[in-house]
Structure formats: C-alpha cells, structure tokens
Chains A and B, each alone.
Chain A
Amino acid sequence: MTELICTVCPRGCHLKVYPEENYRVEGHQCARGEKYGQEEVKNPCRIITSTVCIEGAEHPRCPVKTNAPVPKQMIFNVVKTLNNVCLRSPVKAGDIVVENACGTGVDFITTRSM
C-alpha cells in the first residue's frame, strides 16, 4: 500500500493506493483523485520546466518545458539534454528546443517568444 496526497485540486485528499488489489484507491473524493492515485503509483510522470541559454534577446535565458509528462525517474537525464543548447533570438513560444529527449518521445519546447 502506498500513501499519497492528491494534488489534483487544493483539497489535498490523503489517498491510500493498494497495487496488490488492482490499484484500488481509498480516501479520494472524486474520480480525478482516483485516477491520480493509480497513475501516481503505476507510472508517476511530470512536466519538466527549465531554461536554456539564448543570445540576442532581452534576457540571457529562455524558459522551456516538456510538451508531455516525463517518467519521474528520467527527470535528471532529461534536463541534462538542455545543458549544451544555445538559442538565437528570435524564437517563438512552442519552438522545439530538444527533440525526443533521451528517447522518451517527449520534446522540450520554448514557453516564451523572445
């Protein structure tokens, strides 16, 4: 059994998830919470946000994010792919910065036009 705090809404339900019972969830108050509990135990994933170097813009850093959630255990490997990236202004929000980071099928995209 795994205990979690649901992060779907501000209510913060304390969930209990039983993987041995087909991922049964206890303590949730809505369907979204049940789904969260199951996903969080089966395959926790996160959107990763960071910045990359940019030249010729108002600021020296350009914010980026993954365009889909990345498995939690891959986070550190995935952010490392940004280390050698340097963009040149102008960029548009949504431009791809790193394609298919670490074979996850997930791209890093810019989140700001600069």
Chain B
Amino acid sequence: MHVKIHDLIVIGGGPAGLAAALSAWECGVKDIVIVERDKELGGILNQCIHNGFGLHYFKEELTGPEYASRFIDMLRDSSVQVKLDTMVIELTDDKELHVVSSTNGYEILKAKAVILAMGCRERPRGPIGTPGTRPSGIFTAGQAQRYVNMEGYHVGRKAVILGSGDIGLIMARRLTLEGSEVLACVEIMPYSGGLARNIVQCLHDYDIPLYLSHTITQIHGYPRVEGVTISEVDDNRNPIPGTEQYIECDTVLLSVGLIPENELSKGANIAIDSRTGGPIVNQSLETSVEGIFACGNVVHVHDLVDYVTYESSEAGKSAAQRILKIASSNSADITHSITDENADVIQLINGNGISYTVPQLIDLKVKLHNIEVFFRTNRIFGKSTIHVKAGNSELKRFKRVRLTPGEMEKIVIDEDTLRQCISKGFDEIEVSVTEDPASEENVHFPVEKTVTLGEVL
C-alpha cells in the first residue's frame, strides 16, 4: 500500500484544529489535512449557541457558531484539505494514522508532523459513583446541549444540575428559556467551577439556587428519574447525615468535569500528565514524541475558546517550523542548536497551591524566548503572590488580586530569567502561590503590574 506523506495532519476540526491548521498554513505549510469525525467542522462550538466567545481574540462577543465560522471561512480560502466523517482509529509514534470513513473505507495516512486537537469529553455518571437507580433522564450537560440546540429535542420539564461547570450553568439558563424548570444547581466543592459571568447570567438572572458543598446522594425513579436526594458535604466531601433534602425532578444533568481525550495519544506512546490528563508538552506544544504536537482541550481543559485559539496557533507555528526545517535540510533529522550542555530540559515543578502548569517542561534545544506558563490553583486565593523559584532563589514574583481553580492563570517567564537558570545549571523551576498577609507591603522587590490573562493576550 503506497502511503503519501503529508506535511501536516491535524486530528480534530474543532476550534483547536482549525486554528492550528490555519496558523501552519499562514507559516507557509501547504500540504495540510484536517481529519474530523463529525460531518462538519467547528466541533463543540456548533452546539454552544450562547454568546461570549471571542471577546479576547476578536474583541467582540460572538456565539459559538459565529466563532467557528470565522475560522471555517478563512480555511476555505486556504489549501488545507478537510476529511469529514473520518475517524482516526490509531496513531503510531512514527506519525502514521489509521483512519476509517464510509466513503474511503480504511486508509493509512502519514505526516512529517501531527497536531493532536481531539478536545475533551465529559465525565459521565460512572466515575462519580452517584447511588440510585439507572433511569432515563440523566444526561451529561453537553449531551443535553446537543439534543436541545442542534437536534431539537426537549430533554425534560424539571431539572437538577449536578456540578457547576460552565456547560452546566449555560444549560441551566438554556433549559429555563426552553420552558423547563431548573430547581437547583448542586456543587460538591465550596466554590463554583464555572466563570463568574456564567454564575451571574445563568443562575442569578433566573433565580436558580446554587447549593455549594452539596451533592446528589441518591437518584430515584425507574424507568424515568422521579427525584433526587441532595445532601450537604463536609470538608472531606463526605455527605453529612441528617442534611438530606428531596427534590422532585424528571431530569438530571451532569456537569462534573471534562477529561482530555487521549486514547490516540496513549496508543502513540505519548507521555501523559496525570494532573492535566493531557500530553506533557514543552513550550512549543510538542509532546514527548518528536513531531507530534498538541493543543486545546486535549492538553488541558481551557475556560475560554479564545485561549484555545491562541495556544493552537502556537502549536501550528511550531509544527510549521519543524516541517519547513525538514524541507530545507532535506533530512528528517533536525539538528537542534543546543544552548547548554548541562541540561536538556527544565522541569516546571508545581509548588504550593498549584495544581498543574502547561507547559510542563522547557526544552532547551528549542530556541529560547519568553515563555507563557498557564496554570490553575488548587483552591481560592485572595490577594496573593505567585513565586517562580529555582534552587533557593526567587527569580520572579507576580501579584494577583484573586486566584480561583475555575479560572486559568498565566505568567510569563522571560528569556533573561531562563538564561540565568541555565547558566546556574538549574534543571527545575518551581511555581507556587502564597496568600498575602493583609498588611504586607512589598516595596523593596520589583513587582510586575497585575494583569489578567485577557489583557495580556
């Protein structure tokens, strides 16, 4: 079987894949294929009919379909090929893709570089172990969103939402506007996992109560949901006996987290970070397998599609650089300009308060530049300081007014700081957070202006 080697194959035609393919094309790569399993491009954006997308990237408020069409339209004017209704069933570490479709049957594709843009999937009922019957009427929030917004089904009359992730909040409003009654949004953590904007515009606007530190401890009814029991939980998230309340409902939506979809990545022996659930990437968004890059929710779950677009454009650029380098050197072996002999990589260590960083490591073989480090904290912090340390010395500190696990944060480690680390032979940089004591004044230390992610990007 003759296998044509494409320059770049992008797996997934959602926001990440679209932005990655476009940016690689703009960098001069012409032979690009997007492989998409759905019958259309756009991914999850097609069902996200609400507005609020694009405030950072396009400086205007768009709905999901509008955001997607901006990229789909740009793609139409490029030479990027799109294979729709085509499922990748296997990816190998030498960048071979086994794909199936009803039009072409089984095919093998090969590429000089691959970008993983498969996104994420919703955590279902099983992993959270909610007791009770197994009736119909239980949906993940995104599943209900597709039914209601694209397929035109009404999912239920009286709903309770478990979890307060953004899709759950959006669906609380959506079901209310569709004439359903949303009785409660129940969140096991003492804070919501969703954006403040969504708490206000989806719950407060419609007087939907949010029960923090609560969870569903029983689902009742068969063959259809008839009600749920909710209970308060203690600090260890165990239900407190005696706090049970019964809520009559016919529908339960689960908005209990998103999991990067990495079956293909694992098959290609790509190293996965157990904290993000996605591939370990360096500052070029390259995974542990050379020439395979990853971006968007397959790497870590983002709050805003705008951030997915920025990240994916970077991945597209990195992949393009690799491809163009191969073309100019006429060889698949790329010789890196090694900046230091002592260490090949600097690991980013998660210190106090940090649940993960992306990238997880800085590859010193790649030309150094200012590196954007994205992270989430593992709890809510008020006025606080982010410390960047190597060895025993603090390299940088950043101030923030508020940090919450629900909102991704960003710091920039500049090139000079990185060079300092390399010259001192450090192979680890630790990022940590401490909450400021109310009275502390940091007058003697140069402090960066506090900026939010959106302002930087």
Q: Chain A: residues with CB nearer than 8 A to chain B? A: 4-7, 9-12, 29, 46-51, 53, 58-61, 63-65, 72, 75-76, 79, 93, 111-113
CA distance A63 to B51 in the complex (A): 11
Q: Which residues of A contact B199 (CB under 8 A)?
A: 5
Q: Which residues of B contact A112 (CB under 8 A)?
A: 46, 65-66, 69
Q: Is B333 an interface residue (CB 8 A)?
A: no
Q: Are B205 and A46 interface neighbours, CB within 8 A? A: yes
- Of the 9-residue stretches B144-152, B221-229, B247-255, which lies at the interface with chain A? B144-152
Question: 14 A-B pairs, CB-CB below 8 angstroms?
Answer: A9-B455, A10-B197, A10-B452, A11-B402, A11-B452, A46-B201, A47-B51, A50-B177, A51-B49, A63-B63, A72-B205, A75-B205, A112-B65, A112-B69
The smallest beta-carbon distance between A15 and chain B, in angstroms, is: 11
For the complex with contacts A10-B195, A47-B51, A59-B150, 16 further pairs of A-B residues with Cβ separation under 8 Å are A6-B196, A7-B196, A10-B196, A10-B407, A12-B402, A46-B201, A48-B177, A49-B49, A49-B51, A49-B63, A50-B177, A50-B178, A51-B49, A51-B149, A53-B152, A63-B63
The smallest beta-carbon distance between B177 and chain A, in angstroms, is: 5
Q: Is B343 an interface residue (CB 8 A)?
A: no
CA distance A75 to B195 in the complex (A): 22
Q: Are B66 and A111 interface neighbours, CB within 8 A? A: yes
Q: Chain B: residues with CB nearer than 8 A to chain A? A: 39-40, 46, 49-51, 61, 63-66, 69, 148-152, 177-178, 195-197, 199-201, 205, 303, 401-402, 404, 407, 452-455
Q: Are B152 and A51 interface neighbours, CB within 8 A? A: yes
Q: Are A93 and B177 interface neighbours, CB within 8 A? A: no
Q: Which residues of B contact A113 (CB under 8 A)?
A: 69
Q: Are A11 and B401 interface neighbours, CB within 8 A? A: yes
The smallest beta-carbon distance between B36 and chain A, in angstroms, is: 14
Q: Are A111 and B303 interface neighbours, CB within 8 A? A: no
Q: Which residue of A lies closest to B400 (CB)?
A: A11
Q: Are A61 and B51 interface neighbours, CB within 8 A? A: no
